Amino acid sequence: MAEREEAAPMRLPWGVAALLLATSDALAARFGAVTVRGELSGFSRAGSGHCYFALKDIDGAPALLRCAMFRRAALLTDFSPADGQQVEARGRLGIYDARGELQMVVESLQRLGTGTLYEEFLRRRARLEAQGLFDAARKRPLPVHPRVLGIVTSLGAAALHDVLTTLKRRAPNLRVVVYPSLVQGAEAPAALVAALRLAGERAEVDVLLLVRGGGSLEDLWAFNDERVVQAVAACPLPVVCGVGHETDITLCDLVADLRAPTPTAAAELAAPAREEALAALQARAAFLRRGVVRALQAQAQRVDTLALRLGQPARSLQGQGQRLDSLAGRLQRALQQRRQRLAEAPQLLQQRLQRALRQRLQAEPLRLQAAQQALQAHDPHRVLQRGYAWVEGADGRPVLSVRALQPGQQVRAVWADGQALAQVHSVLPGPVAQGLPLAPADPAKPGAAGLPDPAA
């Protein structure tokens, strides 16, 4: 027994591959097929169809198990695995020789529920969405040609290198200001809020890029912090968020003015390509040149036309001379006509006056005859000739009403062929009565019906 113990240290040392193989065999013999329950993290699917991910404890313990699920087993999975899902994996433990890591080759995968981080992500998303932070009306447009770009990220992050490389290639004329901040860990949210606030206060950039490389849900958790989301919403500058890979969604992506699938894409969206801008400028310059050439050609044709006209001044002068002669002839004729009209004017006026006098002399007898007829028509003697008479009082005034008479009053009645003196016997106002009897005549007195004697 002592001899065997002394001989043990003399065994040959292990090779790395041999040791890993022996350990893998020991694990397979010791554990066989195992079932593990945990939360998916860092899930990815390769082009070959193989899936790679990690399992972490549901209760949040700092433990991580690397897993690989080959294409055949992945095709048998009845759901789409994603970070944050609680699953139950069945497979065998082994050692991944290339890195010397413990690995589980998953043969079947079943979903149990949503992980705690993902549940918290959904709760925060619903709460912030109810506040209106994700509304499309809040999104601000990016400037077409920014002069200065700001970047909020870690100085040692690969995302910063990607962004700077892209900007150098697309827009080397842009000035870049970096606001360094932690992008992972418990202190990252406060650092991100401070960097965003500093960029807003300094207001020295036109667009702000918030970028970070890919990672698991817990690696990107700082960008789901409500303090960071509120800081992005309150930032006075347009914010482009490019966090993680294309499949990664954070709350900062939803509240930012523009979401980019990757940090490189964020740089491409914020900065127009120099070549595209130069091509647009060249097209505009070509358009302006064509316009200038057309204008110059039109002016050259106009100059040629004017030169032709100036090359023949005699023809132009001849035309102007003919026009002057025509105007002089018209003026001479107009003056002659004017003098002739002025010379004929007295004779014409005398003729018009004579015609007016003859017409007036011819019209006056007719007017006189008409006036005489009107006068004769109004002559009261002509009325008396039709059997009427007028009555006048002793004062010679006509009696216009029976009420102006008094019984016993002396009146004179005038007819066309004579007159008579009468005495009023009685006065009867009212309508004229027919057949009134006259007063009886006194035979002893001359005159009839009590009238005075005409001889008297």
Q: 86-143: per-residue pLDDT in tens?
A: 899 999 998 888 888 899 999 999 887 555 677 788 889 999 999 999 999 999 999 9
The CATH 2.40.50.140 portion of the chain extends over 16-114
H/E stretch holding 108: strand 101-114
CATH number of 16-114: 2.40.50.140
> Rounded mean pLDDT of 268-297?
86
Quick one: how far is CA 423 from the chain centroid? 109
pLDDT grade, residue 300 (50/70/90)? confident
Amino acid at the residue 54: A
Buried b (16+ CB within 10 A) or exposed e, 118-128: beebeeebeeb
Q: For position 355, what pLDDT does the model report?
A: 87
Crossing angle of helices 226-234 and 116-130, rounded to 10°: 30
- Of 210, 110, 205, 199, give the one whose Cα is nearest residue 153: 210
The CATH 3.40.50.261 portion of the chain extends over 120-272
Cβ–Cβ < 8 Å for 61, 107: no
Q: For position 1, what pLDDT does the model report?
A: 45
Q: 428-438: per-residue pLDDT in tens?
A: 887 765 555 55
Can you point out the beta strands (E) in 136-233? 148-153, 175-180, 207-212
Listed ranges 25-34, 128-137, 319-328; the one with the highest mean pLDDT: 128-137
- Of 60, 45, 49, 36, give the one whose Cα is nearest residue 112: 36
Rg (CA), the chain: 66
Quick one: how far is CA 400 from the chain centroid? 93
Amino acid at the residue 398: P
pTM over 0.75: no
> What are 411's strand-pairing partners?
422
Q: For position 195, what pLDDT does the model report?
A: 94
Q: Structure tokens of 334?
A: 């107009």
Q: 359-393: per-residue pLDDT in tens?
A: 888 888 888 888 888 887 777 777 777 778 888 88
Secondary structure (3-state) at 392? strand
Least-confidence region, from 116-125, 309-318, 445-454: 445-454
- Of 184, 40, 64, give the one whose Cα is nearest residue 117: 40
Q: 171-195: per-residue pLDDT in tens?
A: 888 899 999 999 988 899 999 999 9
> What is the rounded CA–CA span in Å between residue 221 and residue 224?
5
Amino acid at the residue 260: A
H/E stretch holding 118: helix 116-130
Q: For position 449, what pLDDT does the model report?
A: 41
> Rounded mean pLDDT of 322-336?
89
Can you point out the beta strands (E) in 25-80? 33-45, 51-56, 64-69
- The CATH class for the domain spanning 120-272 reads alpha beta
